[in-house]
Amino acid sequence: MNPLARFAQLVQAPEQDLPLDEAALLVATCVRPVDVHAGLARLDDLASGCRGRDATGVSEYLFLESGFAGDTVDYDDPRNSFLDDVMARRLGIPISLSVLMIEVARRVDVTLRGIGMPGHFLVRDERRPDRYFDPFHGGASIDAAGAEALFHAVRGEERFRPEYLDPIGRRATLSRMLANLQRSFLRRQAGAVAPVARMRLAIPGLPVTERYHLATLLGSIGQYDEAAALLEGLADKLGDADAARVRQQVVAFRARGN
């Protein structure tokens, strides 16, 4: 089974059965082969150093003892979104370091949940839901006020909403990882973005607006027939005016693909 098909198979599973570790490792197959079994074994190795520890202990092991850290020099490096590279380089961005912490903790029966605030990503300790960890900043333990302060540090005066601290699911986490990677490639090498878009499109429940933007993105990089087929599938889900506009785009992409 090719990696995209395997990823699509994984994300079709019920949320509670979706293996976040394997799916996150497959993200790097957008650009190169990945030894998924080796990546899972590396997570097991990291977890072996956390036996008997609680959430704080897992954080200390990863970010103090093992040296995992946020990449403050080249945040936009695509490797920061590839879990195997994150483990090899011990560098990442908030979401990839959070996935690392969640999956290492899960292996030692510590339940952590991803918190997908706008502009930043944290993890929450399910045994103490008032406590959060910030993997990008050394695994620091913070409360809700600290999380709000982080939000304003990134988003300025934008209004903070309490629901920003609600946990997000595994599919949503994977979609956000891929969205980060997509933005990175668009800044660096737009031609490499097509496999990322295809992987995002494999995730069930992706909003129509996002599917539309991904389809037009594929068209903008020369994947005309693929973009047209995706847009045709969306047209029936839209109102009359939007559907007519989308069908015009389909015709235009078909013409360019011939």
Say how far apart CA 105 and CA 133 lie, in whole Å.
12
% of the chain at pLDDT higher than 90: 74
Largest CA distance in the chain: 62
Residue 140 has pLDDT above 90, yes or no: yes
The answer to whether residues 55 and 157 belong to one domain is yes
Residue 242, pLDDT score: 79
The answer to whether residues 32 and 82 belong to one domain is yes
Average pLDDT over residues 80-87: 98
In a domain, 63, yes or no: yes
pLDDT band at 256 (very low <50, low <70, confident <90, very high): confident
The structural domain count of the chain equals: 2
Residue 102 has pLDDT above 80, yes or no: yes
The answer to whether residues 71 and 14 belong to one domain is yes
In a domain, 197, yes or no: no
The answer to whether residues 144 and 244 belong to one domain is no
Closest CA to 177 of 204, 211, 203: 203
Which position has the higher pLDDT, 23 or 248?
23
In a domain, 248, yes or no: yes
Q: Which of 112, 140, 165 is the last residue of a domain?
A: 165
**pLDDT digit string (tens) for 28-65?**
999 999 999 999 999 999 999 999 999 999 999 999 99
The answer to whether residues 31 and 153 belong to one domain is yes
Residue 247 has pLDDT above 90, yes or no: no
In a domain, 188, yes or no: no
Which of helix, strand or coil describes residue 124? strand
Say how far apart CA 135 and CA 183 lie, in whole Å.
21
Q: Which of 101, 136, 165 is the last residue of a domain?
A: 165
Q: Which domain, by its residues, includes 104?
A: 3-165
Interior angle at CA 93, CA 204 and CA 191, nearest 5: 65
The answer to whether residues 38 and 139 belong to one domain is yes
The answer to whether residues 124 and 212 belong to one domain is no
The answer to whether residues 124 and 242 belong to one domain is no
Closest CA to 117 of 178, 175, 165: 165
**pLDDT digit string (tens) for 202-211?**
999 888 888 8
In a domain, 18, yes or no: yes
The answer to whether residues 126 and 247 belong to one domain is no
Residue 191 has pLDDT above 80, yes or no: no
In a domain, 69, yes or no: yes
Q: At 140, phi and psi to the nearest 5?
A: -55, 140
pLDDT band at 243 (very low <50, low <70, confident <90, very high): confident
Average pLDDT over residues 154-180: 96
Closest CA to 165 of 131, 190, 135: 131
Q: Which of 140, 165, 190 is the last residue of a domain?
A: 165
Q: Which of 27-41, 43-57, 156-170, 218-232 has the lowest mean pLDDT?
A: 218-232
In a domain, 202, yes or no: no
